[in-house]
Chain A
Amino acid sequence: MDKIHQSIHAKIVQLAKELGRDARLLRSDEEIPASGVLDSPALMELIVWCETEFGIDIDQDELTLDNFGTVDAMAAYFERARK
């Protein structure tokens, strides 16, 4: 797992913990909304955190399951955006 994967996963675990949920076993290819570890406001908070962490403004239209549905998809999106 590279650094981007690790930091996103760590943030998800932290946000889930605030909700009283355990996301430590969340797989990087597991769809986050369907997993139930984060609710909608927490998912939104994760996106806002990612914008700051990776220095990227994300358009609302880009907030799709395909771009951000899994840790893998998120990491790939930010890798692409950085290039």
Chain B
Amino acid sequence: MPIPVHTPRINNNDDFVRVAHLYVSPGSQVSSGDPLADLETDKATFTVEAELDGYVLGWKAQIGDTVAVGSILAWVGDSPGQQPPAEPSASTTAGAAGEDREPTLKAALLLARYGLTAAEVPAAGQRLSASDIERYLAGRPVPGPKPSAPRVDRPTAPSEPGREVELTRPERGMLHTVLWQKEAVPAYLEIAYDPRPWDEYAADFQQRHRLLISPLLALFAWRLVRIAAERPAINATLTGERKHLYDHVNLGFTVQSGPSLYAVVVREAEAMDVLDFVRKLGELQRSAMRGTLRPEDVSGATIGFSSMARWAVTRHAPVLLPQSALMVAHAAPAGGAASLGATYDHRLLHGADAVGALQALASPPDKE
């Protein structure tokens, strides 16, 4: 039998909410606890979850719609082929046969609290009373007040008119990365260094291996891999009050491809030799440009490297990649000098850790 999913109340003062996102399409199978939809008001966002296992039979609202608290948002049934009733069925309005009796003030508050409508609850008398609702609630599993507090991490809806478009996959990835900064405690510092030894080292490497593309940034990233392998503290993240020291160094490297920003990941980089690393990173950069990156190519970074030298940016503070504690910032030289920066998770690392890593990175290795 199809069961309605009602629109819950998010804020005491909001009788209407906006549908911000639908997680599943009609016919999709869901399990109890799965997210169904994001609803929002000017003050908060709330994720409606499936109350039971079943199939979403259909949505009564679409993304962007404004719906009344207590109205039916969707139907969930036992099989994907079930037809959702056009209106609440007689069985859900038992007793008073679907008559919409005027609720008392206390009943109205309870209806709103439990996301019910007056038509659903049979009334014993001329008006729908709080006792009617309590009796109704006692007899069936209904969507009660959510135990979890509404999420408030979504910015309030703009007051000015405009149109909303879905984020692209890279944009969602960037959002996920940036939101990690709210969990971490990022701090930033930088050191000055002489870029000439690095330039000479990269030019020599390029000529010796006859590489078409300058390996400068890849060699910087490779040096960071070696430093992270020697200093496990910077290749780590925090889990509660414990350090999680990664077994491998998965180097995240930012790549701008057209309008999209990616952080491609060279996995288990510490096990590679330098030429294999340079080639692997080049492959991933080309995959980003072709739009053929796989999910595993852009996830699992344990440490990061970002350069904005291409745009002549001389200083920048990058965001940390999710579940990492250090992100190195490479920038363009200015007047013969250059700076290397690092954003670090101050919950796990202190300034000396970051400075130590940057000082080691400031000079190219003596040998490959």
Q: Which of B256, B282, B290 contacts A63 (CB 8 A)?
A: B282
Q: What distance in Å separates the Cβ of A20 from its nearest Cβ neighbour in chain B?
A: 11
| Contact A45 B289, beta carbon cutoff 8 Å | yes
| Contact A64 B310, beta carbon cutoff 8 Å | no
User: Which residues of the other chain, A, contact B213 by a CB distance below 8 angstroms?
Assistant: 33, 40, 43-44, 63
User: Which residues of the other chain, B, contact A51 by a CB distance below 8 angstroms?
Assistant: 290
Q: Is A22 an interface residue (CB 8 A)?
A: no
Chain A, residues 49-83, CB within 8 Å of chain B (1/0): the string is 00100000000110111111100000000000000
Q: Is B285 an interface residue (CB 8 A)?
A: yes
User: Which residues of the other chain, B, contact A40 by a CB distance below 8 angstroms?
Assistant: 213-214, 216-217, 310
A33 to B214, CA, bound (A): 8
User: Which residues of the other chain, B, contact A65 by a CB distance below 8 angstroms?
Assistant: 206, 210-212
Return the chain A residue nearest B282 by Cβ: A60
| Contact B212 A63, beta carbon cutoff 8 Å | yes
Return the chain A residue nearest B258 by Cβ: A45
| Contact A67 B282, beta carbon cutoff 8 Å | no
Size of the chain B interface, CB-CB below 8 angstroms: 19
Chain B, residues 325-353, CB within 8 Å of chain A (1/0): the string is 00000000000000000000000000000
With A63-B212, A64-B212, A65-B212 as given contacts, are A47 and B286 in contact (CB-CB < 8 Å)? Answer: yes
| Contact B212 A67, beta carbon cutoff 8 Å | yes
Interface residues of B in 204-233 (CB under 8 A from A): 206, 209-214, 216-217
Interface residues of A in 1-56 (CB under 8 A from B): 33, 39-41, 43-45, 47-48, 51
With A39-B310, A41-B256, A44-B282 as given contacts, are A63 and B289 in contact (CB-CB < 8 Å)? Answer: no
Secondary structure dominating the interface of A: helix
Return the chain A residue nearest B291 by Cβ: A48
A65 to B211, CA, bound (A): 6
| Contact B211 A64, beta carbon cutoff 8 Å | yes
User: Which residues of the other chain, B, contact A66 by a CB distance below 8 angstroms?
Assistant: 210
Q: Is B151 an interface residue (CB 8 A)?
A: no
Q: Is B279 an interface residue (CB 8 A)?
A: yes
Q: Is B283 an interface residue (CB 8 A)?
A: yes
User: Which residues of the other chain, B, contact A39 by a CB distance below 8 angstroms?
Assistant: 310
Secondary structure dominating the interface of B: helix
Specify which of B206, B214, B256, B286 lies most central, judged by the most chain A CB atoms within 10 Å of its CB.
B286
Interface residues of B in 19-45 (CB under 8 A from A): none
Q: What distance in Å separates the Cβ of B8 from its nearest Cβ neighbour in chain A?
A: 48
A69 to B212, CA, bound (A): 6
User: Which residues of the other chain, B, contact A67 by a CB distance below 8 angstroms?
Assistant: 212
Q: What distance in Å separates the Cβ of A62 from its nearest Cβ neighbour in chain B?
A: 9
Q: What distance in Å separates the Cβ of A3 from its nearest Cβ neighbour in chain B?
A: 23
User: Which residues of the other chain, B, contact A47 by a CB distance below 8 angstroms?
Assistant: 212, 286
Q: What distance in Å separates the Cβ of B305 from its nearest Cβ neighbour in chain A?
A: 15
Q: What distance in Å separates the Cβ of B331 from its nearest Cβ neighbour in chain A?
A: 15
A45 to B323, CA, bound (A): 31
A65 to B206, CA, bound (A): 9
Return the chain A residue nearest B256 by Cβ: A41
| Contact B279 A61, beta carbon cutoff 8 Å | yes
Return the chain A residue nearest B213 by Cβ: A40
Return the chain A residue nearest B289 by Cβ: A48
A41 to B257, CA, bound (A): 9
User: Which residues of the other chain, A, contact B282 by a CB distance below 8 angstroms?
Assistant: 44, 60, 63
A56 to B30, CA, bound (A): 44
Q: What distance in Å separates the Cβ of B269 from its nearest Cβ neighbour in chain A?
A: 16
User: Which residues of the other chain, A, contact B217 by a CB distance below 8 angstroms?
Assistant: 40
A44 to B264, CA, bound (A): 15
Q: What distance in Å separates the Cβ of A37 from its nearest Cβ neighbour in chain B?
A: 14
A44 to B217, CA, bound (A): 14
Q: What distance in Å separates the Cβ of B89 from its nearest Cβ neighbour in chain A?
A: 56
Q: What distance in Å separates the Cβ of A49 from its nearest Cβ neighbour in chain B?
A: 9
Among all A-B residue pairs, the 4 with the closest Cβ atoms: A64-B210, A63-B212, A48-B289, A60-B279
4 further interface pairs, Cβ-Cβ under 8 Å (given A33-B213, A63-B212)? A60-B280, A63-B211, A65-B206, A66-B210
Cβ contacts A to B, 8 pairs, < 8 Å: A33-B206, A33-B213, A40-B216, A44-B213, A44-B282, A60-B280, A64-B210, A65-B206
